[in-house]
Amino acid sequence: MSYKKLHQSAFVLDSHCDTPLVLIEGANLGERLRKGHFDFIRMKEGGLDAVFFAIYTSGKMAPDAATRRALQLIARTFDAVESNSDKVTMAFSAEDAYRNRELGLGSVFIGMENGAPIQKDLSLLRLFYDMGIRYMTLCHAADNEICDSCASKDKRWNGLSPFGVEVIKEMNRLGMLIDVSHISDQSFYDVLKYTTKPVVATHSCCRSIANHPRNLTDQMIVDLASNGGVIQINFYPPFLNSDYAKDFWPLCDAFEEAQERFKEDPKKYKKLLQDAEKAMFALERPSYTEIADHIDHVVKLVGVKHVGIGSDFDGIEVTPAGMEGVDKLPVLTKELKSRGYSDDDISLILGGNFLRLL
C-alpha cells in the first residue's frame, strides 16, 4: 500500500495539541490560519482523524484562577466545535471517534494539562470528567497539590502527595487516563506504584537521545510499557535534539522576555519582539525525520505497541523542518514506511496504540 493510501486508511490521532490557547485569542479554526500549527482545514488535509485539545493552565496561576481558565478553555473548545459541525464533532470515547470517522467528521477530545484546576477536591476532578476531560497531565512546570514537576528544583513532595495518591485511585475508577508528561521521575514511579491501569506520556520524547528532564529515560519507557502504557512522541525540536537545544534555549528565553516587554508596551518593544523571533527562527531546525528516530528508539526498547504521536502543536514556538503544521503529518507516515515498518505497525503508531488505552 502506498504511504498516501496507508495514511488515509489508518486512524490518525494526535494526543496533545494546545490550540485552545489560540481560541482564547479569538482564532477561527474554520479558516486556514496564517499563524500557528492547527486549524480544521489543515486537520483534514493532514488526514488527522482525532485530536486531543489540551486544557492548559500555568503553574503560576492561583487555584481559583486556574479553575476559571480551565472552564473558559473548555467552553471555547465546545464553541469552536459547534461552529464547525460540518467538519468536526466532540468525542468522549474510542467508539465515538470511530463512529465520527464513519460520518466523515474529525473528532476533538479534551485533556487537562496540569491538575491545578481540580484544586484539592476530588469532586472537581469528577466534574471535569463529566465535562469531557479524558486524560489529565498531573502537573506542568511547577509542583502542585498532586505531585512534583520535572522542572522544579526543590521538590515539594518527592513524588506524589497524599492527595495525589487519591487522585490516581479516582482517575482509575473514573476511566480517566493518567498522563505522566511533565512530572518528576519520582512522581512517575509513584504513579506506577499506585495505578491499576496503564498510563500514558501524551507528549514526551526519549532522554537517551535528547537529554532533558521532560523526556523519559530508557528504564522509564521499559517500565511504562510493562504497565501497558504508551509514550506519544513530542515534535518540539529541543526535546528531539540535544545539540539544537543548546543553541535554542538562550534564544527562546530572549523571545519570551521580549514577549513580556511587548505586553507591557507594544509600541516600544515591537522591534525587540520581532528581532527575538527572527533570531529564534533563523536557527537551523532538526528534520521531522528525528521524530521517527525517537519512535525507532522506543520500538527497539519495548516494541511497536507502546509508542504514538503527541505533537504539542500550538504549544511550541518552533517545529521540526518539514513538519510546520498538522497538514504535514503524511510525511511522517512516508518516513516510517521508508524505514521498513509494516502497514499494521504504522497504523498502531499513528493512533491505534493510544485508542487501545481509551
Q: Could you report the per-residue pLDDT of 15-40, keeping only the tens digit for each?
A: 999 999 999 999 999 999 999 999 99
pLDDT value, residue 301 = 98
Name the residue with cell 490550540: 19
**Contact 47/8 with Cβ under 8 angstroms?**
yes
pLDDT value, residue 315 = 97
pLDDT value, residue 341 = 98
Q: Which of 59, 56, 61, 70 is nearest to 156 (CA)?
A: 59
Per-10-residue mean pLDDT, the chain, length 358: 94 98 96 96 98 97 97 98 98 98 98 98 98 98 98 96 98 98 98 98 98 98 98 98 97 94 93 95 97 98 98 97 98 98 98 97
pLDDT value, residue 337 = 98
pLDDT value, residue 217 = 98
- Predicted TM-score (pTM) of the model is 0.96
Query: Cα–Cα distance between 241 and 291 in angstroms, integer?
Result: 10
* Tally of CB atoms within 10 A around 54: 30
pLDDT in tens, 315-353: 999 999 999 999 999 999 999 999 999 999 999 999 999
Mark out the alpha helices in the chain (DSSP H runs).
3-9, 20-24, 40-45, 63-83, 94-102, 122-130, 162-174, 185-194, 218-226, 237-240, 242-264, 266-282, 289-302, 330-338, 343-347, 353-357
